[in-house]
Amino acid sequence: MGHALCICSPGTVIIDNKRYLFIQKLGEGGFSYVDLVEGLHDGHFYALKRILCHEQQDLEEAQREADMHHLFHHPNILHLVAYCVKERGTKHEAWLLLPFFKRGTLWNEIERLKDKDNFLTEDQILQLLLGICRGLEAIHAQGYAHRDLKPTNILLGDEGQPVLMDLGSMNQARICVEGSRQALALQDWAAQRCTISYRAPELFSVQSHCVIDERTDVWAFFGIAAAACLDDDCGPPAAPSYSFPPQSVGGTATPSSGPAHYPNLNQWPC
């Protein structure tokens, strides 16, 4: 594990013996912050995700998110530059240093185009969907599922290539539910960690004896396809005319309200 250390220069930190300069805040959630930093050793910009860890389980979950990143070396999955834990007395922050994508997310792109009364072209949509499929294929091939796929969790590279991010909700692809207690625990976990607009139907009312698998990502994928093709009224846009029929599903993404502790779903193998 790396170490983080504040040094004398205001707004400068050291991660794995490299200095980074704070530029600005990019965003924040209930228990995490994302800052734009510049590597003083290379001049590149990075996104520094800082997760507030109040308990040991918070640290374990942050470590697991870092471990998920380390599993993949794929152009359509966000890679982790560095990971460390910063200690402040009895409190801890887990830091994930990630590449910075100046175009932002797919949702940012859709909103920018909407402001200009414009749309993604059919070729752009097909390129996006192909890249998302390739990223999901890599995740599923390792026996995992993303579980929180949505437009705000898809970054866009300089050439428009999609990159899947936010691997904190990932767990094993196939989860065997045995009994009502496990079903309720999984349902509560999904309510906390899986955005409602892209949550698969089987996660809203989990059956007492069932198998939840990677098809939850497939449901979310088609919601993303709809969001890329449709306007806010869930009707096909006036232009352009697509050669494939968009479906009337989708919606805006809503952020999760912060960490909550649930049973380790990876202990329910099939």
Query: Is residue 6 scored above 60 in pLDDT?
Result: no
Structure confidence at residue 159 (pLDDT): 93
CATH code where residue 131 lies? 1.10.510.10
Which structural domain range is residue 45 located in? 2-99
Asked which of 99, 131, 155 is the last residue of a domain, the reply is: 99
Structure confidence at residue 264 (pLDDT): 62
Catalytic residues: 148
**Residues in contact with 96: Cβ distance below 8 Å, sequence separation at least 6, in sequence order:** 48, 49, 51, 62, 65, 66, 69, 80, 82, 83
159 shares a domain with 93:
no
130 shares a domain with 90:
no
209 shares a domain with 112:
yes
- Structural domain count, the chain: 2
CATH code where residue 27 lies? 3.30.200.20
* Residue range 38-44: mean pLDDT, rounded: 96
Q: Alpha-carbon distance 174 to 106, whole Å?
A: 28
Structure confidence at residue 237 (pLDDT): 44
Structure confidence at residue 91 (pLDDT): 86
- For residue 270, name the pLDDT band (cuts at 50, 70, 90): low
Residue 126 token pair: 């097909």
User: What is the percent of the chain where pLDDT is above 90?
Assistant: 76
What pLDDT digit, counting tens, does each position of 152-199 carry? 999 999 999 999 999 999 999 999 999 999 999 999 999 999 999 999
- For residue 30, name the pLDDT band (cuts at 50, 70, 90): confident
257 shares a domain with 146:
yes
Structure confidence at residue 240 (pLDDT): 44
78 shares a domain with 128:
no
How would DSSP label each residue in the chain? -EEEEE-SSTTEEEETTEEEEEEEEEEE-SSEEEEEEEETTT--EEEEEEEEE-SHHHHHHHHHHHHHHHH---TTBPPP-EEEEEEETTEEEEEEEEE--TT-BHHHHHHHHHHTT----HHHHHHHHHHHHHHHHHHHHTTEE-S---GGGEEE-TT--EEE--GGG-EES-EEEESHHHHHHHHHHHHHHS-GGG--GGGTS--SEEEE-THHHHHHHHHHHHHHH--TTSS--SSS--SS---S----------------GGGS--
**Which tops the pLDDT comparison, 42 or 8?**
42
116 shares a domain with 52:
no
250 shares a domain with 132:
yes
Asked which of 78, 99, 120 is the last residue of a domain, the reply is: 99
What pLDDT digit, counting tens, does each position of 209-231 carry? 999 999 999 999 999 999 998 85
**Residues in contact with 123: Cβ distance below 8 Å, sequence separation at least 6, in sequence order:** none
Query: Is residue 123 scored above 50 in pLDDT?
Result: yes
Structure confidence at residue 258 (pLDDT): 43
Structure confidence at residue 65 (pLDDT): 96
Asked which of 42, 77, 99 is the last residue of a domain, the reply is: 99
